Amino acid sequence: MVMANGNALAGRIETATFAGGCFWCIEAAFDETQGVESAVSGYMGGDKGSAHYKEVSRGKSGHKEVVQVRYDSSEVSYEALLDIFWHSIDPTDAGGQFADRGSQYKTAIYYHSLTQQVKAQASKEAMASHFTRSIVTEILRAEPFHKAEPDHQNYYKTCPIPYSRYKKGSGREDFIKNTWGEDKPVVKIERNKPVSKKALKELLTPEQYAVTQECGTEPPFKNAYWDNTEEGIYVDIVSGEVLFSSKDKFASKSGWPSFTKPINKSEIVEVEDRKRGMRRTEVRSQGADSHLGHVFNDGPGPDGLRYCINSASLRFIPKADLEKEGYSEYQNL
């Protein structure tokens, strides 16, 4: 069921990435959480186009050990994943994590969308009340992810005895018990909570805010994507949810990006709009509830539709960047 305000549950697989020292322990923290499809150990943040354990573990590549989590946002919220992360690390350690020292073991939250960035920052600020020392965990934009070697995947399952010895011997296990006691993270099965208007106003441009949050309209022919012909996908500027493909984009001569259809109809909410003395069909995103534009019955496609969308509501991801941006499954589009 789709509701006009975009708050209906809609299963959607999203990506979250966390650096918390040795990836064995962080992977184990997420792997058996309800709603988590996969937790994969790997590397992120270096300057090279590839990463290998021997090089990363010596701090020679600039990468951090990370775990990339794929999760169903209708079953587990991003806030819940953040809570699990904070309960698994020492966020005040600026030199690494426990027995592992060096920049490759420093903590970080890599965000994949504006929504994740806002929520990560809010959770970091909330964590300050739990510690006497400053929280040094960085919040960084996600970069290309490199999957770690097979022997590092599911290490807590394949090598449970050495894993347990490592977690205990490194000091992580005692730190978690001494810091949190029985206060374990509460994993809520819910749709992600909306980002506050105040936070969005600080991170969006004035035009992006006016369009997405106040149902504004940008000028025709004076926006980023009206004449963009590059191959790629268009995602919600706020949430990063996938909306449109260049394959379905056409030159409508309207001055705004126009598409014959969305990539996934379930990510789009259509509602009647009678503002300004007109009767139109407004288009909003399902997850972030962003105003996108309107849909008309004068398109060239088989359904005769024209999705007239504001560039200010969108972020374009070129085909060459899909993998590093976490959208590799859309390369076939």
Alpha-carbon span 322 to 246, nearest angstrom: 13
Domain around 323: 197-330
Evaluate whether residue 74 is within a structural domain: yes
Within 8 A by CB and 6+ apart from 42, the residues are 23, 51, 65, 66, 67, 68, 145, 146, 147, 148
Within 8 A by CB and 6+ apart from 121, the residues are 139, 199
Q: Select the more confidently predicted residue: 248 or 12.
A: 248
| First-last CA distance in the chain | 27
Alpha-carbon span 27 to 20, nearest angstrom: 10
The residue among 308, 284, 313 whose CA lies nearest residue 295 is 308
Q: What is the pLDDT of residues 132-160, one digit of tens each?
A: 999 999 999 999 899 999 999 999 999 99
Evaluate whether residue 244 is within a structural domain: yes
Quick one: 222 and 291 in the same domain?
yes
DSSP H helical ranges for 72-154: 78-86, 114-127
Quick one: 156 and 23 in the same domain?
yes
With cut-offs at 50, 70 and 90, classify the pLDDT of residue 330.
confident
Q: What is the pLDDT of residues 253-268, one digit of tens each?
A: 999 999 999 998 888 9
Evaluate whether residue 227 is within a structural domain: yes
Its pTM stands at 0.70
Angstrom distances, CA of residue 147 to CA of 3, 20, 143, 195, 311 = 38, 16, 13, 31, 33
Evaluate whether residue 259 is within a structural domain: yes
CATH code for position 98: 3.30.1060.10
Which residues are known catalytic residues?
22, 308
The mean predicted confidence, pLDDT, of the chain is 88
Residue 21 has pLDDT above 90, yes or no: yes
